């Protein structure tokens, strides 16, 4: 498969703070690629470099064969960027906004009209064509923000946390929109903090932390690699910090984290029931509940983020 984005040994420093360390990765043409990681991981920094808003300190980023530094103008003509803040004008109508963004790319008027009506129907904004952008609902504004990034038919669409603040229904609708844009042949790069979103949408995901790649692969692969089972255990009085250290010394336990309700343990095939109960007993903890589940992408994420902190 052809790689439409190639990042080679990319580093980025802000003064003497290093935000990206020697990052290399490839994104295949036509795929939906999810960039995940805890706050401050370097996701937006990477996106700013890819969208020519910030220059790398060293290394290269190449989109469709074009270097983002030396061929900036050409790169900007083939990528669409959906920033976290809306980029349209509240006082203009939906249609006027699209026409304005089209004019920035010097697209001829007749072509803009045709293109815009396609975009409006794809993003389900036809009814709002002549409404002022400022009067749209939050979900519609998100869709208009995406529409503005599509007027020049980009080959790559980059979205930085597009689903923040959307209700579950609008979020589902956003996923449908992204899938549809992707079906038209556009490669998608998206950052998100919603694991369910990454799982539902992305062909491949990459988890980074503190400027470094921790793990990447297909969501299914990553879940399989995380372990066979996850046990969620609740106990009383619930001194989870102490129990956690005890559990971490059991060899079969791959990771142990404190969750909202208790402890979450990721295991391989073997479940060392006796050893686990012994740790709780030793610390005078009464087990109140045990639930078993398959690893989710959230477990993968917490494991990956946690590992890099050690």
**Pairwise CA distance, residues 64 & 158, whole Å:** 14
Q: How far apart (Å, rounded) are the C-alpha atoms in residues 30 and 183? A: 8
Q: Calculate the CA dihedral of residues 34, 39, 44, 45 and round it to 10 degrees.
A: -120
CB of 202 to ligand ATP, least distance (A): 16
Looking at beta carbons only, is 40 or 284 nearer to Mg ion?
40
Minimum distance, C-beta of residue 121 to ligand ATP, in the bound complex (Å): 32
Three-state helix/strand/coil letters over 202-262? CCEEEEEECCEEEEEECHHHHHHHHCCEEEEEEEECCCHHHHHHHHHCCCCEEEEEECCCC
From 33-41, 134-142, 224-232, 239-247, span contacting ligand ATP (CB under 6 A): 33-41
Binding-site partner at residue 62 among Mg ion, ligand ATP, none, CB < 5 to 8 Å by type? none
Pair 120, 129: CB distance under 8 Å = yes
The residue count for the chain: 310
Minimum CB separation of residue 187 from ligand ATP in Å reads: 20
Q: Please answer whether residues 178 and 188 qualify as being in contact, where contact means their C-beta atoms are separated by less than 8 angstroms.
A: yes
For residue 118, the minimal CB distance to ligand ATP (Å) is: 32
85 binds ligand ATP (CB under 6 A): no
Residues in contact with 296: Cβ distance below 8 Å, sequence separation at least 6, in sequence order: 195, 199, 223, 230
- Distance separating alpha carbons of residues 46 and 20, to the nearest angstrom: 8
Question: Is 83 a binder of ligand ATP (CB under 6 A)?
Answer: no
> Considering the rule CB under 6 A, would residue 309 count as an interface residue with ligand ATP?
no
Nearer CB in complex with ligand ATP: 5/243: 5
Query: Smallest distance from the beta carbon of 58 to ligand ATP, in angstroms?
Result: 16
Q: Which is nearer to Mg ion, 151 or 304 (CB)?
A: 304
By CB under 6 A, the residues from 41 to 80 that bind ligand ATP are 41-45
Cβ atoms of residues 300 and 226 within 8 Å: yes
Q: Which residue has the tokens 């996106």?
A: 47
**96 vs 94: CA distance, rounded Å:** 6
Q: Which stretch binds ligand ATP (CB under 6 A): 35-43, 89-97, 105-113, 126-134?
A: 35-43
SS3 176: helix
Contact positions vs Mg ion (CB under 5 A) = 43-44
- Please, what is the minimum distance in Å from the beta carbon of residue 185 to Mg ion? 27
Burial of 237 (0-12, 13-18, 19+ CB in 10 A): exposed
Q: Total residues at the site for ligand ATP (CB under 6 A)?
A: 11
Nearer to ligand ATP, 95 or 192 (CB): 192
Query: Does 163 help bind ligand ATP (rule: CB under 6 A)?
Result: no
Nearer of residues 43 and 143 to Mg ion, judged by Cβ: 43
Given ligand ATP, Mg ion, none, residue 97, with its beta carbon under 5 to 8 Å by kind, binds: none
17 interacts with, out of Mg ion, ligand ATP, none, CB within 5 to 8 A per kind: ligand ATP
The footprint of ligand ATP (CB under 6 A) covers: 14, 17, 19, 37, 39-45
């Amino acid at each position: 498969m052809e790689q439409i984005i190639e990042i080679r040994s990319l580093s980025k420093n802000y003064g003497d703070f290093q935000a990206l360390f020697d990052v290399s990765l490839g994104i295949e043409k036509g795929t939906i690629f999810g960039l995940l990681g805890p706050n401050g991981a370097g996701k937006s920094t990477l996106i700013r470099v890819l969208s020519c808003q910030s220059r790398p300190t060293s290394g290269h980023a190449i989109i469709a064969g074009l270097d983002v530094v030396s061929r900036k103008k050409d790169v900007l003509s083939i990528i669409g960027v959906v920033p976290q803040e809306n980029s349209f004008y509240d006082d203009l109508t939906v249609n006027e906004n699209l026409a304005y963004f089209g004019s920035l790319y010097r697209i001829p008027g007749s072509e803009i009209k045709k293109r815009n009506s396609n975009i409006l129907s794809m993003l389900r904004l036809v009814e709002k064509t002549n409404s002022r952008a400022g009067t749209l609902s939050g979900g519609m504004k998100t869709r208009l923000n995406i529409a503005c990034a599509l007027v020049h038919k980009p080959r790559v669409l980059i979205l930085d946390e597009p689903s923040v603040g959307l209700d579950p229904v609008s979020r589902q609708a956003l996923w449908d929109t992204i899938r549809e844009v992707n079906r038209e042949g556009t490669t998608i790069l998206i950052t998100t903090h919603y694991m369910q979103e990454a799982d539902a949408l992305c062909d491949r995901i990459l988890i980074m932390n503190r400027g470094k790649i921790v793990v990447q692969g297909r969501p299914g692969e990553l879940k399989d690699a995380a372990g066979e089972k996850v046990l969620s255990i609740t106990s009383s009085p619930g001194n989870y910090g102490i129990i956690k250290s005890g559990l971490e010394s059991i060899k079969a336990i791959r990771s142990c984290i404190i969750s909202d309700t208790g402890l979450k343990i990721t295991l391989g095939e073997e479940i060392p029931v006796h050893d686990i109960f012994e740790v709780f007993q030793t610390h005078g903890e009464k087990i109140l509940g045990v639930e078993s589940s398959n690893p989710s992408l959230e477990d993968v994420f917490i494991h990956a983020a946690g590992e890099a902190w050690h």
